[in-house]
Amino acid sequence: MKSLDDLRVKLFADGADLAGILESAQNPLISGFTTNPTLMRKAGVDDYQAFAQAVLTEIPDRPVSLEVFSDEFSEMADQARLLASWAPNVVVKIPVTNTRGELSLALLHTLATEGIRLNVTAIMTLDQVRVATQAVASAPIAYISVFAGRIADTGRDPVPVMAEAVEILRPYPRVQLLWASPRELLNVFQADAIGCHVVTVANDILKKLPLVGKDLAAFSLETVKMFYDDAARAGYALGARGSRR
């Protein structure tokens, strides 16, 4: 299997915990950062602007994706321009539709022609990939975020979808495919194998990076020892010394 050093796919850290973001920033494998309002709310962020500007102050040299949160396209446009004004490395996340299912294509095209760096988020169909890619083609750089993990949650294999998305984006050199919401470390290698440009990784997956290439026999023995030690610590016993339930 490939080593981490051999991966072509870029890793973006995904989260909203400032301490975790700063820790990830020390990892040379991390090429960018993404967050969203749901992650920020779960992390207890109560001041969007203060949090975002703290991140941008600490990370001036890699893309940071920040999401609009209005449901009206005119307000999204205003928010997008404000976010983009905060730092040159801001990438503005725009959902592929609003909550009424209306496509954001006109907004995406307008922002792209204004030179705003874009991340089209919450994409799950190839039709959405096609139209969103065309809408952002003139942006300085744009990411098409396909939520492969959520596709997998429905029982569908996301790999063929993502592989076809790679082909859809091939004529657009400034548009990159982003594998969003991965569920396991294997997804990083799957993304790399199909030529995906970027994959987001949450802290729980980042913590597994040292396992890449680990000897499986040694891993098996460690697992056996873990089960044994936990049973001993719990004081489990069977037979005459065990529970009478």
Residue with tokens 């949160």: 69
Return phi, psi of residue 178, to 5°. Answer: -115, 120
Residues in the chain: 245
- Domains of the chain: residue spans and CATH: 4-211 (3.20.20.70)
Residues 22 and 1: beta-carbon distance below 8 Å: no
Give per-residue pLDDT as tens, 6-61: 899 999 999 999 999 999 999 999 999 999 999 999 999 999 999 999 999 999 99
Residue 69 CA to residue 113 CA, distance in Å, equals 21
Question: pTM for the complete prediction?
Answer: 0.93
pLDDT at 245: 44
Average pLDDT for residues 198-226, to the nearest whole number?
95
**Cα-to-chain-centroid distance, residue 169:** 18
Give per-residue pLDDT as tens, 85-132: 999 999 999 999 999 999 999 999 999 999 999 999 999 999 999 999
Residue 174 has pLDDT above 90, yes or no: yes
pLDDT at 242: 55
Average pLDDT for residues 221-227, to the nearest whole number?
98
pLDDT at 86: 98
Q: Which residue has the higher pLDDT, 243 or 110?
A: 110
Q: Which two tokens stand for residue 221?
A: 């023995």
Residues catalogued as catalytic: 93
Q: Which residue has the higher pLDDT, 128 or 204?
A: 128
pLDDT at 243: 53
Q: Which two tokens stand for residue 10?
A: 């870029």
pLDDT at 244: 46
pLDDT at 221: 98
Q: Which two tokens stand for residue 7?
A: 């991966």
Give per-residue pLDDT as tens, 128-166: 999 999 999 999 999 999 999 999 999 999 999 999 999
Residue 179 CA to residue 159 CA, distance in Å, equals 10
Give per-residue pLDDT as tens, 51-89: 999 999 999 999 999 999 999 999 999 999 999 999 999
Contacts 24+ apart (CB under 8 A), 70-74: 71/98, 71/99, 71/100, 72/98, 73/98, 73/102, 73/104, 73/106, 73/107
Which helix (H) or strand (E) segment is 141 a member of? Answer: none
Q: Which of 144, 52, 55 is nearest to 94 (CA)?
A: 144
